[in-house]
Chain A
Amino acid sequence: MNGFSGTDHQVHNLKQQIAATETQLHSLKLQLQQAEQQAEAARHLSEAYQGGFPAEWMDETLVALQQDVTRDIAQKVRQEGGFEGAPSVRDAAQPRRWPLEKHEYKRYGRQLIMPEVGLHGQLRLKNARVLIVGVGGLGCPAAAYLAGAGVGTLGLMDGDTVEESNLHRQIAHSTARVDMNKTQSAMEYLQSLNPHVNYNRHEFHLTPQKAIQIFEQYDLVLDCTDHPTSRYLISDACILTGKTLVSASALKTEGQLIVLNNPPRPPGDALGGPCYRCIFPKPPPAESVLSCGEGGILGPVVGVMGVLQALEAIKVLTARAQRPANGGDWSTNGATSEAAPKATLLMFSTYNTPQFRSVRLRSRRADCAACSAQSTISRQSLTSGSLDYVAFCGATAPINLLPPASRVTATDFSRLPRDGSNVLIDVRDETQYAICALRGSVNVPWTGSADTWLERALASGLSFGGGRQHFVMCRFGNDSQLAAKAVMERTQTPVAVKDVKGGFKSWRDEVDPSWPDY
């Protein structure tokens, strides 16, 4: 009995060994077949580009091919061994003769034939991951051109929803998508433009806590936001994660563009490009910061700047050289000298001649809080939330200057007699006053200073006397308080003056829904 069971065991063992060897043999045959196909592809490639295909790009292309081949083998072996039931989507028997897909030659052909891009540049774009922070006036055109150019992965970050007042400039959104999250809206546009790009949506505003983890998923970052708070945060996170930053801004009729941390180097390395803090170590006073909603913006102005951001991104991505054989850092083709790289600021001004002007800025600051050897900003200070960017840049609190007795609601104001006993002073600028105004009101635009405004008010024939009640009104109810306060404090005799709370916004909400909402 024991003898039989011993032989059975031996037979069983031999069968197992044969099966294992057969699997191994099969896998080896498969590998041989793939290797032969790969060698053939390389020969084709070599023939196809004979004389015009620099050796360093050849390696890059073959790496792209090899990755596919290895993946196919792995999957095939798993299937043959019964580890994976589903058949492979890609037919491994079909060799990849060309590094790009058939449709890609067609779609990107017009840029592919440019020596600045070429096959190597297109492959780099395809392998690149770009994050666009802010999908508004800058982010929409930037995303459109980067998606069009075939950037492999595009991240879109924005917590805002589309508003009707965005549509004159934010070209990826549409009338039908008002109230939709901007990343969702833009993705619908971009999908129809180029479905071959991998889109990541980050449906929220950037916070210091999330910045590092998200930036690490990308190769390059575009700052398309609209406030100093986010601009400092994005720059700091780019330094900490080693990403080049393409930053642009626009307001009214002007725009500015700057490429930062280019080339990207760790803090303390003078061969890295300067960061936002090197150029602007201190934030501007909060009251000097105007948004597009307050100051206005011409659509093509911000469009030009967003398109330029995409252009700079393409330049940075396609210029990236091979990682040196010694395993050192990436370096760009342009930065051959060992001098500390300086940044360049491109300024666009609609009504200037010339409209574009480029100025030389500084290199890294030796005492920069973010990118110098003495930097105080760390991953820890961001992820822990201990760095307060809002406090750093200063917040403008809603103005509340006047005692309650000196203020009236829009509703109460609308009920006052219109018999000449009341005077309404509208302190919006001339352009806004010409859009819509209340009949009988006097327009004295707020000048930013009590003295000059009072001078202009008196010059417009206002006497602040005669026992008449004066009311001051503006767009949102801030400037009107400043003007009312100026009258109270600077006129010799006591004057009856009140401001209309919430300005014309409240007037529309409470009294006249037809009042233009510009």
Chain B
Amino acid sequence: MAARKSSQSHSGGLELLFSNQRKHKVSIPSTSDATTGQPSNVAFLIKWLCDNLMRDPRKEMFVLDDTARPGILVLINDADWELEGEEKYELQAGDEVVFVSTLHGG
């Protein structure tokens, strides 16, 4: 199965959930479902990250109702994922996906 490279980074404290590392280069399957050939989208990436990259058991700090929890901005190539089709955005080789936790201190 062909793999798709995607760089993915965390900030705003989320890196704590991902082995305290801000940037990860990951290769994910190009299709999320081998039978239908459905191309991998961001929803699949989030699930994949939970299952494969996240060592911290506190999944609820990253995911709620199968999507990024409230207070996390998902950015695809420096743009809000809402401008790109949200979870349904189909990942391309070399895409950069950033998960940012909002800060509240002041």
> Which residues of A line the B interface, CB within 8 A?
134, 136-139, 223-228, 231, 248-252, 254-256, 279-285, 288-292, 295, 297, 302, 305, 342, 345, 347, 349, 352, 357-362, 447-449, 451-452
A451 adjacent to B104 (CB under 8 Å): no
Residues A449 and B56 in contact in the complex (CB < 8 Å), given A254-B103, A290-B13, A295-B105 = yes
B70 adjacent to A345 (CB under 8 Å): no
B4 at the interface (CB under 8 A from A): no
B45 at the interface (CB under 8 A from A): no
Separation of A390 and B106 alpha carbons in the complex (Å): 18
Q: Which residues of chain A are near B70, meaning CB under 8 Å? A: 280-285
Excluding A138-B106, A256-B100, 6 further A-B contacts by CB distance (< 8 Å) are: A249-B103, A256-B102, A285-B71, A291-B105, A297-B105, A452-B57
13 A-B interface contacts by CB (under 8 A): A134-B106, A139-B106, A250-B103, A251-B104, A283-B71, A288-B61, A291-B105, A292-B105, A352-B11, A352-B22, A362-B83, A448-B56, A452-B56
Which B-chain residue is minimally distant from A276 (CB atoms)? Answer: B102
Q: By the criterion of a CB under 8 Å from any partner CB, how many residues of chain B are at the interface? A: 29
B73 adjacent to A302 (CB under 8 Å): no
A252 adjacent to B13 (CB under 8 Å): yes
A302 adjacent to B105 (CB under 8 Å): yes
Q: Which residues of chain B are near A302, meaning CB under 8 Å? A: 105-106
Separation of A258 and B28 alpha carbons in the complex (Å): 33
Residues A359 and B78 in contact in the complex (CB < 8 Å), given A345-B73, A448-B58, A449-B58 = yes
Separation of A452 and B22 alpha carbons in the complex (Å): 21
B95 to chain A, nearest CB (A): 14
Which B-chain residue is minimally distant from A351 (CB atoms)? Answer: B22
Which B-chain residue is minimally distant from A305 (CB atoms)? Answer: B106
Separation of A451 and B78 alpha carbons in the complex (Å): 36
B71 adjacent to A280 (CB under 8 Å): yes
B102 adjacent to A249 (CB under 8 Å): yes
A165 to chain B, nearest CB (A): 13
Q: Which residues of chain B are near A347, meaning CB under 8 Å? A: 11, 100
Q: Which residues of chain A are near B79, meaning CB under 8 Å? A: 359-361
Which A-chain residue is minimally distant from B80 (CB atoms)? Answer: A361
Which A-chain residue is minimally distant from B76 (CB atoms)? Answer: A359
A137 adjacent to B106 (CB under 8 Å): yes
* Contact residues of B between 66 and 89, Cβ < 8 Å to A: 69-73, 75, 78-80, 82-83
Separation of A451 and B22 alpha carbons in the complex (Å): 24
Separation of A134 and B73 alpha carbons in the complex (Å): 25
Separation of A231 and B103 alpha carbons in the complex (Å): 11
A227 adjacent to B104 (CB under 8 Å): yes
